[in-house]
Structure 1
Amino acid sequence: MSLGNHIALSRRHALGLGLGAAAASLLPPEQARAAIPAGTVLKVGDQKGGVQSVIEAAGLLSDLPYRIEWSQFPSAAPLLEALNAGAIEVGYAGDAPTTFALAAGTAAKIIGAVRSNPQSTTILVPGASPIRSVADLKGKTIGTGRGSIGHYLVLASLKANGLKPDDVKIAFLLPSDAKSALAAGSVDAWSSWGIYVSQALLVDGARAVVTGTGLMSGLSYQSATLDAIATKREALVDLIRRFAAARLWALENSNAYADIWAKTVGVDPAIARHTFGVERARPVALDGAVIAEQQATSDLWREFGIIPKRLDAAAIFDPSFNGALPA
């Protein structure tokens, strides 16, 4: 269900909800808007609760100088497959699956970044499970998406606790299937993120065994195809600027955003508030620290044979889009 069918906040309404001066300063200047050719269309891939929801909730989609064709995906893997196939031109996904895709040869670069609290990625077990620690996962089956941030957390937590990947069995499943498998007892644990974790903890009675705190960067990226970077740069800059402004608005108005989001997708507001209260996502520049953290993520993928060769993280970033962020 499209968020656009349910939310049509005006910019004045967004300002009334507390769009701060820092966020307002990110709104597209008229000169930049005028540089976007008439008739421009951006094909944007998104995930549940991602780019579209926050920009729309902040009231920043009402005056676009181009048209967006939104495609919603259940997780990063199919989104990045669509990016590779050219079905979308820009998409939002976590650092781990983005590494996985770009290492496989997707003709794209990272043009924007958001950092969230790594705690929002979690390995979950049923409340009555005897599993209490990572060590207890030995010999068990964990459901998660291949190349996802959940997959990364499994490998990172095993390494941190002196275990090897073959000490567990990983069942590669989409989030909805992994949720069902955990409820049915087909898997012993589920490594997931964001809204899925909040629902499992607050509604399903699941329990966290380990989170990404200290094990993951919490970075997510906007990646664009090389063709879109070459031919639609102005529109991409505008999209990043709006997304950054919306993220700043959501930080200042976390409960307001959560309540809007919950009503739109039909979940308990407490679940949305928990999700966004933990994530605290904020835009960050593509700087040396981000590139170094991305290199560490890439190196872990390589260490465990998830990608075939070492990836030079610096080569997959385009820092020239940093100008869309506040100074």
Structure 2
Amino acid sequence: MLSIGIVAASVGASYGQDKVVRIGFQKYGKLVLLKGRGTLEEKLKALGYKVAWTEFPSGPPLLEALNVGAIDFGIAGETPPIFAQAAGAPLVYLAYDPPAPQGEAILVPKDSALKSVAELKGKKVALNKGSNVHYLLVKALEKAGLKYTDIQPVFLAPSDALAAFTRGAVDAWVIWDPYEAAAEASTGARILADGTGLVANHQFYFSSKKFLADNAKAVDVVLEALSEADEWTKSNIDAAAEQLAPSVGLPAPVLAVSLKRESYGIRPISDEVIASQQRIADTFLALGLLPKAVTVSELQRKSGS
């Protein structure tokens, strides 16, 4: 929490009293590409705004930062906003990416004897708590006839999980791209199951309620710039992979695999996708993993806002 406070303070110090859009991004994805293109800065400059970028390792800490007012806009997967809402985060669902079920998977080492999800019973499974893959694991176990309590979850951030997976300290790893593609390329990891037929693996774009109320036009400009970056990426996978490689720290061919498993065409938030989020929330509540019930539709962007 202290680090988030420092980020907020430094952003204020850097830009004084100017209007600023503070964007939280993860190491990989469309926001990274948008940051590299520099087009958002030009678009927002015309409205009297500057842009401040802050990197986060995953969705949960990014939404924690939004909760405490350290950022104004960000992207995260399906599960982090469920837990953030339960914690009282004042976020608003703005838009989303179409399903990308192959962009997350349950991996096992190349020489593992495990051949099916059902064989995970009693095994140690690494995952990032409260992230998209948490829901994938729940649904995959359910389909295999197992309960969540039938496995031993080991909650680790991606870098720590990779280390544990590589040395054999865990039996499986549930992870998203580009870490998924990187593990396949560097360790020969096998996909036990991906999200196909199990989960949508949506990505969502958020702002804080207060920022949206006071800066709706700036939010729309960010979404417009993201849509342009999204369209360019869809038609230029290899070039996008080359652009991402230095900041992500992975070879362009690995990133190209990830980008091909992504979805494109950013869409305005809809009742249908909010209902999908509600099913995720209800699932975690039933498992006793969510501290209280939430009504996801309360965070849906209203028309005209």
TM-score (norm 2): 0.88
Aligned AA for 1:212?
G
Partner of 1:132: 115
| Aligned-partner Cα distance in 2 for 1:249–1:99 | 30
| Aligned-partner Cα distance in 2 for 1:155–1:135 | 12
Contact 1:90 1:222 in 2 (8 A): yes
Contact 1:58 1:250 in 2 (8 A): no
Deviation at 1:281, TM superposition (A): 3.3
What's the secondary structure of 2:204's corresponding residue? strand
What's the secondary structure of 1:320's corresponding residue? coil
What's the secondary structure of 1:311's corresponding residue? coil
Equivalent residue runs for 1:16-165 within 5 Å: 39-58=18-37, 60-63=39-42, 64-65=44-45, 66-165=49-148
What's the secondary structure of 2:266's corresponding residue? strand
Contact 1:194 1:275 in 2 (8 A): yes
Partner of 1:27: none
What's the % identity of the aligned pairs?
Answer: 35
Deviations 1:131-164 (A, max 9, x none): 1111110000111111111111111111112111
What's the secondary structure of 2:178's corresponding residue? helix
| Aligned-partner Cα distance in 2 for 1:321–1:202 | 46
Partner of 1:252: 235
Deviation at 1:321, TM superposition (A): 7.1
Find 1:180's aligned residue among 137, 152, 163.
163
Find 2:253's aligned residue among 253, 257, 270.
270
| Aligned-partner Cα distance in 2 for 1:47–1:264 | 11
Change beyond 3 A, Cα 1:72–1:284: same
| Aligned-partner Cα distance in 2 for 1:188–1:126 | 8
Aligned AA for 2:255?
A
Equivalent residue runs for 1:5-20 within 5 Å: none
Find 1:200's aligned residue among 167, 179, 183.
183
Deviation at 1:42, TM superposition (A): 1.1
| Aligned-partner Cα distance in 2 for 1:321–1:80 | 24
Stretches of structure 1 lacking an aligned partner (at least 5 in a row): 1-37, 323-327
Contact 1:138 1:168 in 2 (8 A): yes
Change beyond 3 A, Cα 1:321–1:188: farther
What's the secondary structure of 1:109's corresponding residue? strand
| Aligned-partner Cα distance in 2 for 1:163–1:266 | 37
Is 1:229 matched with 2:227?
A: no
Deviation at 1:303, TM superposition (A): 2.0
Deviations 1:194-229 (A, max 9, x none): 100000011221111111111112211112111111
What's the secondary structure of 2:173's corresponding residue? strand
Stretches of structure 2 lacking an aligned partner (at least 5 in a row): 1-16
Contact 1:46 1:72 in 2 (8 A): yes
Of residues 44-53 and 125-134 in structure 1, the stretch that sits farther from structure 2 once superposed is 44-53
Change beyond 3 A, Cα 1:266–1:175: closer
TM-score (norm 1): 0.82
Deviations 1:118-138 (A, max 9, x none): 111101111011111111100
Deviation at 1:116, TM superposition (A): 4.2
Contact 1:116 1:282 in 2 (8 A): no
Is 1:316 matched with 2:299?
A: yes
| Aligned-partner Cα distance in 2 for 1:320–1:60 | 26
Displacement over 4 Å in runs of 4+: none
Partner of 1:22: none
